[in-house]
Structure 1
Amino acid sequence: MIGSDLLQNCAGVLLCDVTEANRNAKMRELDAQLVGLFITRAAISDVSSDGFDDFMETHPEALMRLANEHPVPVGDRIGKARSRYRLT
């Protein structure tokens, strides 16, 4: 059986370590995407590089309003994302 054959070649890597590594990699990927999106959003809003820090401090308020106005509650959307990525 393939499962038992592969088990013999296991190098002692624990599933929880792989899961944690995948979680960290996904968070880094999403953070990089968020930075790119915020830079693009700042550019479209005519924010200068000097004003980017202020933009980053104030814009999340607008995002929170959008999240709360969405027809599907935030908790439901978080649950769906959690199940999609099987992070638990």
Structure 2
Amino acid sequence: MNKQPLVLRLLKGFAMFWWDFLVGDTPELFVAALVIIGAVALVSERWHANSTAVIMLPVLAIAALGLSVKRASDAAKRK
């Protein structure tokens, strides 16, 4: 029998769900998404360069995905 109170178990389960959903197996993509969103928001708000921000978002997202795929490919080759 689990000694933790029900509320604590529910909170832990809720936190573990969101961690697995957001971070999952590739924490670098989660960090990359946060950095990309921050960079786009900074460019848009600080310098009012909305057109630049619109172009930056997909370019940075594709670059992050490409780096993640390359990293996974290199890891698979080492095995």
Q: Same fold (TM over 0.5)?
A: no
TM bucket, shorter chain: 0.3 to 0.5
Q: TM-score, normalised by structure 2?
A: 0.37
The structure whose Rg is larger is 1
Q: TM-score, normalised by structure 1?
A: 0.35
